[in-house]
A and B are shown apart, each in its own frame.
Chain A
């Protein structure tokens, strides 16, 4: 009895010490972000003098105001928004229809086609970005939103996730509707899609993050400054920090670039963190 209690007590203090260490690490983890955020609210003249300090003193909104009125940043944000939203909606549409067919419909060649699509998971972006570039060059389609969106719809991850999801839906739900002679499209729209809102939400969030943060393809396809996404635009203004006089503005641009994804993350954290394992555990 005595040993058991002392054991529990020591385990308890070990847990506490561990928790304290993790909290310290977490604070250090956030430090760079807090520092950058603080700089974005400081006047550039102050930053020329010193970048030290985690509080925005003296405080100014000039960096943000300047970006909104004078720079290409609003344009870049607009491009990113168009691209990310379209890519998300289209991916959801393509992945859910194809996933439904693979999970629930009978047709010749189903198994082979599914393996053929899954094999695409092993093709990294770097293996296809040059031929894709040549393809869009031959069509004369670079520097358009379409060029930024369409190639990314070919990623098979969404189809894989939706197939897994639809397979797990009990069959009798559909069968009742089949007996009522409802068409496939009706069953899909009225029964399967509403059931899959959680999966679609997760897939949608990941697609949006992926689209917003995409770098290599927009870098080679959107070469006009007007057509940059915010991720590429922000990369283009990372000059020489030691000399730049507009440090605060660069930091403010970074905050603009992160605000939408951070907001999404804060609202949908549960979906995102648990969604990571969606494809792996089953």
Chain B
């Protein structure tokens, strides 16, 4: 005890005497990351806003300062509003479904034992694939001619559907592929949160002969409230940035039904070369996402 106290005192003396030198050492430890952070994250964030105030072309040197004209154009851009609606629709399907599915799977597979470890492994496994593998797999599954579901439909005598080409089915199809791809992460978050609920509360409930439903509602769900909010916010932010699935599975079609914000940004910038206009959209998306994250921080601080 005393030795610990003296060593703390010694350490404090150390920091006081050699402080200037310690600062330099500390900054040297920080320097590599901070340099990369400033150049490749902070600077681009501001220069993105700067680019959005220009008529700026991807190739060549054409750039002209036009103030907020890009933002005024955006306001009047019917396709931009459509992509916002599409993205919001996609998020409003995937976020609740993903959260519910992740929670249901977490409750089902959190138990001890080999079988459940394998099951956890299976449901998480699809998250390690890249977006192009996921879209390849699901394009094959949903293909109206040679797809897995088409084969199944034919074998029971139903006419196969080309899901990705149908206006009604295209968006739900992207949502299903996204659920399959992404459920592992929120599931693992829920499992970790569930495991932190003290076991003795459950034991007390068992002594009271509380029903399963009551235990779930009164103990389990309140116990994971913070994780629930975290998962919701992470999912909203993630799903609003959806790009690869629409780009590779439907190309935004049919008739722009599945075109998302990020896909429109990509097309505007790298197909039409208008990176000034594309940057204005990116800024709008960023402000949107940033506000959602702030809401989470605010909710989190209110609870503590």
Chain A residues proximal to chain B, CB less than 8 Å: 7, 11, 14, 18-19, 21-23, 26, 29-33, 35-36, 39, 47, 50-52, 93-95, 97-98, 100-102, 105-108, 110, 113, 117, 120, 122-135, 137, 150-151, 153-156, 159, 171-172, 175-176, 178-179, 184-185, 188, 209, 212-213, 215-216, 219-220, 230-232, 234-235, 238, 241-242, 247, 250-251, 254, 257-258, 261-262, 264-265, 269, 272-274, 276-277, 280-281
Select from chain A the residue with minimum beta-carbon distance to B151.
A52
Contact with A along B109-129 (1 / 0, CB 8 A): 100000100011111111011
Q: Are A276 and B129 in contact (CB under 8 A)?
A: no
Given the complex, which residues of A lie within 8 Å of B143, measured CB to CB?
Answer: 241-242
Residue of B123, B136, B289 touching A26 (CB-CB under 8 A) = B123
B interface, over-half SS: helix
Given the complex, which residues of A lie within 8 Å of B125, measured CB to CB?
Answer: 30, 262, 265
Select the residue from A151, A176, A277 with max chain B CB neighbours within 10 A: A277
User: Please, could you name 17 A-B residue pairs with CB atoms under 8 Å apart, sorted by A?
Assistant: A29-B126, A32-B137, A32-B140, A52-B151, A94-B36, A127-B48, A131-B50, A134-B275, A135-B43, A213-B128, A215-B131, A220-B269, A231-B133, A242-B145, A273-B188, A280-B192, A281-B192
Q: Are B123 and A29 in contact (CB under 8 A)?
A: yes
Q: How far is the CB of A138 from chain B (nearest CB, A)?
A: 10
Q: Are A273 and B124 in contact (CB under 8 A)?
A: yes
Q: Are A127 and B283 in contact (CB under 8 A)?
A: yes
8 nearest A-B residue pairs (beta carbon)? A277-B192, A213-B130, A105-B26, A127-B286, A101-B29, A98-B33, A131-B44, A276-B188
Counting residue pairs across A and B whose Cβ atoms lie within 8 Å, the total is 288
Provided the pairs A131-B44, A216-B243 are in contact, do residues A32 and B51 lie with their beta carbons within 8 angstroms? Answer: no
Given the complex, which residues of B lie within 8 Å of A132, measured CB to CB?
Answer: 40, 44
Select from chain B the residue with minimum beta-carbon distance to A29.
B122
B270 interface contact, C-beta 8 A: yes
State A258–B105 Cα separation when bound (angstroms). Answer: 24
Q: Are A254 and B227 in contact (CB under 8 A)?
A: no
Provided the pairs A134-B51, A154-B36 are in contact, do residues A51 and B193 lie with their beta carbons within 8 angstroms? Answer: no
State A100–B131 Cα separation when bound (angstroms). Answer: 34
Chain B interface residue count, CB cutoff 8 Å, equals 101
State A37–B270 Cα separation when bound (angstroms). Answer: 34
Q: Are B146 and A213 in contact (CB under 8 A)?
A: no
Q: Are A130 and B137 in contact (CB under 8 A)?
A: no
Provided the pairs A26-B123, A128-B41 are in contact, do residues A33 and B30 lie with their beta carbons within 8 angstroms? Answer: no
Given the complex, which residues of B lie within 8 Å of A153, measured CB to CB?
Answer: 33, 36, 40
* Extra contacts besides A32-B180, A130-B282, A184-B25 (17): CB < 8 Å: A32-B138, A35-B141, A51-B148, A101-B27, A117-B33, A123-B286, A124-B237, A126-B282, A133-B269, A154-B36, A159-B33, A175-B8, A175-B11, A215-B131, A235-B132, A258-B129, A272-B128
Q: Are A18 and B108 in contact (CB under 8 A)?
A: yes
State A14–B213 Cα separation when bound (angstroms). Answer: 13
Q: Are B10 and A179 in contact (CB under 8 A)?
A: yes
B169 interface contact, C-beta 8 A: no
Residue of A108, A150, A257 touching B132 (CB-CB under 8 A) = A257
B299 interface contact, C-beta 8 A: no
Provided the pairs A23-B119, A123-B286 are in contact, do residues A241 and B140 lie with their beta carbons within 8 angstroms? Answer: yes
State A130–B143 Cα separation when bound (angstroms). Answer: 33
Chain B residues proximal to chain A, CB less than 8 Å: 4, 7-8, 10-11, 14-15, 19, 22-23, 25-27, 29-30, 32-34, 36-37, 39-45, 47-48, 50-51, 56, 58, 105, 108-109, 115, 119-126, 128-133, 135-141, 143-148, 151, 155, 180, 184-185, 188-189, 191-193, 196, 209, 212, 227, 230, 237, 241, 243-244, 247-248, 262, 265-266, 269-270, 275, 278-279, 282-283, 285-286, 289-290, 293-294
Q: Are B27 and A238 in contact (CB under 8 A)?
A: no
Given the complex, which residues of A lie within 8 Å of B51, measured CB to CB?
Answer: 130-131, 134
Q: How far is the CB of B207 from chain A (nearest CB, A)?
A: 10
Residue of A95, A215, A232 touching B243 (CB-CB under 8 A) = A215
Given the complex, which residues of B lie within 8 Å of A172, measured CB to CB?
Answer: 4, 7
Q: Are A274 and B188 in contact (CB under 8 A)?
A: yes
Q: How far is the CB of B196 from chain A (nearest CB, A)?
A: 7
Given the complex, which residues of B lie within 8 Å of A232, measured CB to CB?
Answer: 132
Select the residue from B34, B147, B269, B283 with max chain A CB neighbours within 10 A: B34
Q: Are B42 and A130 in contact (CB under 8 A)?
A: no
Q: Are B36 and A280 in contact (CB under 8 A)?
A: no
Given the complex, which residues of A lie within 8 Å of B237, measured CB to CB?
Answer: 124
Residue of B119, B269, B289 touching A124 (CB-CB under 8 A) = B289
State A132–B30 Cα separation when bound (angstroms). Answer: 23
Q: How far is the CB of B215 from chain A (nearest CB, A)?
A: 11
Residue of B11, B29, B39, B243 touching A100 (CB-CB under 8 A) = B29
Q: Are B132 and A277 in contact (CB under 8 A)?
A: no
Q: Are A124 and B23 in contact (CB under 8 A)?
A: no
